[in-house]
Structure 1
Amino acid sequence: MYAAWSCGLTPRAPPDAHASPMRQTNASDDTALAVELRGVRRRYGRGSGAVNALAGIDLALPRGTFTAVMGPSGSGKSTFLQCAAGLDRPSEGSVRLGGTEITGMNENELTELRRSRLGFVFQAFNLLPSLTVEQNVLLPLRLAGQRPDHRRAAGVLGRVGLADKARRRPGELSGGQQQRVAVARALITDPDVIFADEPTGALDTGTAAEVLGLLRHAVDALGATVVMVTHDPVAAAGADRVLFLADGAFADSLERGSPSRIAARMGTLAGAAA
């Protein structure tokens, strides 16, 4: 089902299978990293009422890896994703994406970076209902000022199993089909990083497995980098590594953990946070 892509996307070099997602790095290997956060803190409010959503995040994710981020409610998962993707600014620290420091970028520069070098998959799909499936997939190219590549869109839609749905509107598709459109849209620019926020949260078990398979294939076949926030141990088990957030900091990690092992670790963290 997940044979080599034929839509013009170029596979990247395979990652180092033994690289640690939280290893120390130096300037010489920055270009090998897809995501790097150093001393990232995010504080909301001031004085005694201030809330530290992120309490000092240090993270280095090599290119071509699939990382799941989990944690109890209020642990900082959403804030982490927003800061890592340039959707929110940290109060302290630095964020680098694909070797590019983004912390000091202005809004126009961040917008351009998100359009051209990042892909996003959200729980709510975030498709434009007035556009066709093909138009939704091509939207990142149009917003980046590039000429729509209909052949490329057809190839990506074919790979996610929606070659015959290009002229449909999102409202005519099932939830699973809409999420596959969102995955195709995320891949159309061959991004440095795909950020996925609860991508299977609104899907049934079988459809969720299909969407996760597409993300997994993007990593294995294209060398794409996926960072996924999820509450689902089954979804997290498909990642190379699972990082656990607690009180705004990474508290633990697992490599290729089983759903039961991930759930047990989550239970321990939730119990400690209670």
Structure 2
Amino acid sequence: MALRRAKRTHRTTADAAPGHDWAVELRAVRRQYGRGATAVHALRGIDLTLPRGSFTAVMGPSGSGKSTFLQCAAGLDRPTDGSVRLGGTEITGMSENKLTELRRSRLGFVFQAFNLLPSLTVEQNVLLPMRLAGERPDRRRAAQLLAQVGLDGKGARRPGELSGGQQQRVAIARALVTSPDVIFADEPTGALDTTTAAEVLALLRGAVDGLGATVVMVTHDPAAAAHADQVLFLADGALADALPATSAARIAARMTALTARRGYAEAAAA
């Protein structure tokens, strides 16, 4: 199912970096929890740039820093050191109020648990980011997006009346409603069966190809990562490897090798 390009709202950012077309920029980003001998170094100097209109998957062994990476990149957590820019806007030193405003108007989120409000209708859930951002809810926009994700005519239903796959489709429509600079997806297919997961991933892929969206997805599933333009591998809080668009089998093999190397290093240090 193809997603049609929607007209994007022109945004002016006083601190946008001229001449750059990066959706996400991390420069020497470190995140440390605690101090001294018990300190946990969740991120150890991450440097990367992700272009607009790209689909990036982030993988790594358990404890590699995937969740911390997503939280810092999305402005949900503050790095200990380094710089984060989203859509050309420096967010590292932003106040919490400005960060909240930015997340509401310029970022989209898709989570494993869907995070829909059960008391609201499907349409109301989709329009919630617009309301929170202080924009006038556009019911025509909501109906268009619901039709594009295969939920035409279901706007009046409650989330509890939908299957898990349908609820995730609502979450994708909600993430797209403000035409965000970046969509951050955290294990978006973790609660879905294989067939439904493939359909949801096709929608995210279609948002990139048809709408020019930028998607950054954390996943443990090589089949999910195979939908991306590139796969980044984290290990011990650092970028350890990268692959361009490739098969699930090759991604799985790279993950196995990375995990084996990490296990060997841990055994040698013991």
What's the TM-score bracket when you normalise by the shorter of the two chains?
over 0.9
Among candidates 88, 94, 97, match of residue 83 of structure 2: 94
Post-superposition Cα deviations, 1:96-155, rounded to whole Å, max 9, x if no partner, equal 000000000011000000000000000000000000000000000000111111111000
Q: Which residue of 1 aligns with 2:114?
A: 125
Structure 2 distance, partners of 1:197, 1:33, is 21
Counting only pairs closer than 5 Å after superposition, residues 64-83 of structure 1 correspond to structure 2 as: 64-83=53-72
Among candidates 47, 54, 67, match of residue 36 of structure 2: 47
TM-score of the two chains, using structure 2 as the length reference: 0.93
Give secondary structure in 1 for the equivalent of 2:153. helix
Structure 1 distance, partners of 2:9, 2:205, is 14
Cα RMSD after superposing both structures: 1.4
Gaps of 5+ in 1: 13-26
Q: Which residue of 2 aligns with 1:4?
A: 4
Give secondary structure in 2 for the equivalent of 1:87. coil
TM-score of the two chains, using structure 1 as the length reference: 0.91
Among candidates 69, 74, 78, match of residue 85 of structure 1: 74
Is the Cα contact below 8 Å between 2:4 and 2:148 reproduced in 1? no
Counting only pairs closer than 5 Å after superposition, residues 124-143 of structure 1 correspond to structure 2 as: 124-143=113-132
Give secondary structure in 2 for the equivalent of 1:218. helix
Gaps of 5+ in 2: 11-16, 264-270
| Aligned-residue offset at 1:221 | 1.1
Structure 2 distance, partners of 1:78, 1:154, is 32
Post-superposition Cα deviations, 1:23-45, rounded to whole Å, max 9, x if no partner, equal xxxx6533x00000000000001
| Aligned-residue offset at 1:223 | 1.0
Structure 2 distance, partners of 1:163, 1:141, is 20
Counting only pairs closer than 5 Å after superposition, residues 193-212 of structure 1 correspond to structure 2 as: 193-212=182-201
The code of the aligned residue for 2:242 comes to S
| Aligned-residue offset at 1:222 | 1.2
CA pair 3-189 structure 1, distance change in 2 beyond 3 A: closer
The code of the aligned residue for 1:4 comes to R
Q: Which residue of 2 aligns with 1:159?
A: 148
Is the Cα contact below 8 Å between 1:10 and 1:222 reproduced in 2? no
Q: Which residue of 1 aligns with 2:244?
A: 255
Give secondary structure in 2 for the equivalent of 1:167. coil
Counting only pairs closer than 5 Å after superposition, residues 218-233 of structure 1 correspond to structure 2 as: 218-233=207-222
Structure 2 distance, partners of 1:192, 1:3, is 17
Structure 1 distance, partners of 2:8, 2:23, is 17
Structure 1 distance, partners of 2:243, 2:9, is 27
Structure 2 distance, partners of 1:51, 1:129, is 37
| Aligned-residue offset at 1:163 | 1.4
Is the Cα contact below 8 Å between 1:38 and 1:95 reproduced in 2? yes
| Aligned-residue offset at 1:4 | 3.0
CA pair 77-49 structure 1, distance change in 2 beyond 3 A: same
CA pair 140-220 structure 1, distance change in 2 beyond 3 A: same
